[in-house]
């Protein structure tokens, strides 16, 4: 696989990203990472670069228990249409019951691989098991097959092109619920003994665990740090949410690219004028 940022011809940020095009929203972080909104990026400039590299992008999704079947079919069908059009894509589908895999037709350049989800013990948190699985599969397979990797939850549906403007070393998704709310109210972990602790008055954004990505190595690093943090909490008799741990990780390890709420929108909300094009919408729970 190509090593990210190894190539001299990589476009500069100013070659493809114009934050002034969206004065109505935050387009650049304090650490100068771009926040990708509709209108801020020139995908064609990036296309020239990534086409030349002949990249492959991986997308991991868990389809366990009730989330197999219709959820999986709609997720993959919509991703087949809108995710990284024109590039090689591997869908990594992690299932606990392969017999529930629905019939799926993929376009050119798209393949899928089925991986078995290990059974969690009754007392284990499902996210701990998932990150342990992801860790193993990145090491055994994924890191040798793709240049970039996204992990997404299955109860989403792609609505518009999710393209190469989203690629980066470390990619975080701004949370649709919390982006437009008072930052003082975000649900960070506030117990100081927790490994996910973020003090009051600190924190950058509230990130959604439904989408995160980057290079396989960066995603692998997160899985390692998450498992380490959960072990620390367990030793202190604490339990925090996966999303809180993800937010703490990105607080310490600043993402190099942030995706605006347009990339992961809840359609039950009244859509504000800042949301120009919804790339992915949350699925209702009862499809």
23-73 per-position pLDDT tens digit? 999 999 999 999 999 999 999 999 999 999 999 999 999 998 777 888 999
pLDDT of residue 2: 59
What is d(CA 242, CA 207) in angstroms, rounded to the nearest whole number? 11
* 206 touches 196 (CB < 8 A): no
Domain spanning 34-282, CATH architecture = Alpha-Beta Complex (3.90)
Residue 131's Cα: distance from chain center in Å? 13
Q: Is the pLDDT of residue 237 over 50?
A: yes
Which residue is catalytic, options 74, 165, 225, 243?
243
Sketch the domain layout of the chain as residue ranges: 34-282
Question: What is the side-by-side strand order in the sheet with 257-259?
Answer: 35-36, 257-259, 170-174, 207-214, 148-152, 56-63, 88-95, 110-116
The question of whether 120 is a catalytic residue gets the answer: no
Q: Are 257 and 168 in contact (CB under 8 A)?
A: yes
pLDDT at 155: 93
Question: Residue 116: beta bridge partners?
Answer: 95
Mean pLDDT on 81-92: 98
Where does 190-236 have alpha helices with state H? 216-235
Query: Rounded distance, CA 277 to CA 61, Å?
Result: 23
Phi-psi region of 84 (alpha: psi -120 to 50; beta: other; left: phi over 0): left
* Residue 169 DSSP label: S
Does residue 287 register a pLDDT over 50? no
The Cα 185–Cα 178 span in angstroms is 9
Q: Look up the pTM and report it.
A: 0.94
pLDDT in tens, 172-223: 999 998 998 887 889 999 999 999 999 999 999 999 999 999 999 999 999 9
Could you read off the pLDDT of 129-183 as tens digits, one per residue? 999 999 999 999 999 999 999 999 999 999 999 999 999 999 999 999 899 888 7
Count of CA atoms in the C-beta half-sphere (13 A) of 134: 29
Least confident of 118-127, 162-171, 263-272: 118-127
pLDDT of 3 higher than 60: no
How far apart are the C-alpha atoms of 179 and 202, rounded to whole Å? Answer: 15
Q: Which residues contact 83 (CB under 8 A, 6 or more apart)?
A: 57, 59, 89, 158, 162
C-beta separation of 228 from 245 below 8 A: no
pLDDT computed for residue 283 by the predictor: 87
User: What's the rounded Cα separation, in Å, for the pair 127 and 124?
Assistant: 9
Annotated binding site for UDP-N-acetyl-alpha-D-galactosamine: 67
Binding residues: 67, 175, 243, 266
């Amino acid at each position: 696989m190509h090593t990210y940022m190894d190539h001299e011809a990589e476009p500069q940020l100013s070659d493809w990203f114009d934050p002034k095009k969206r004065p109505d929203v935050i387009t650049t972080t304090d650490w100068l990472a771009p926040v990708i909104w509709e209108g801020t990026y020139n995908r064609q400039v990036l296309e020239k670069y990534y086409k030349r590299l002949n990249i492959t992008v991986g997308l991991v999704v868990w389809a366990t228990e009730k989330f197999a079947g219709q959820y999986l079919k709609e997720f993959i069908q919509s991703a087949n249409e809108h995710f990284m059009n024109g590039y090689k894509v591997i869908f990594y589908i992690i299932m606990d019951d392969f017999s529930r895999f629905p019939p799926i037709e993929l376009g050119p350049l798209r393949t899928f691989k089925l991986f078995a989800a290990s059974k969690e013990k009754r007392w284990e948190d499902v996210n701990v098991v998932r990150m342990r699985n992801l860790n193993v599969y990145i090491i055994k397979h994924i890191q040798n097959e793709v240049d970039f990797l996204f992990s997404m939850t299955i109860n989403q549906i792609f609505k518009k092109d999710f393209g190469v403007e989203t690629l980066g070393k470390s990619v975080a998704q701004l949370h649709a619920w919390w982006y437009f709310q008072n930052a003082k109210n975000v649900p960070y972990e506030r117990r100081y003994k927790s490994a996910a602790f973020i003090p009051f008055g600190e924190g950058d954004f509230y990130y959604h665990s439904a989408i995160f990505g980057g290079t396989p190595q960066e995603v692998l690093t997160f899985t390692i740090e998450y498992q380490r943090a959960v072990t620390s909490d367990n030793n202190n008799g604490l339990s925090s949410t996966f999303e809180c741990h993800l937010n703490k990780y990105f607080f310490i390890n600043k993402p190099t690219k942030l995706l605006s709420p347009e990339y992961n929108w809840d359609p039950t909300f009244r859509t504000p004028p800042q949301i120009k094009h919804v790339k992915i919408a949350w699925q209702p729970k009862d499809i």
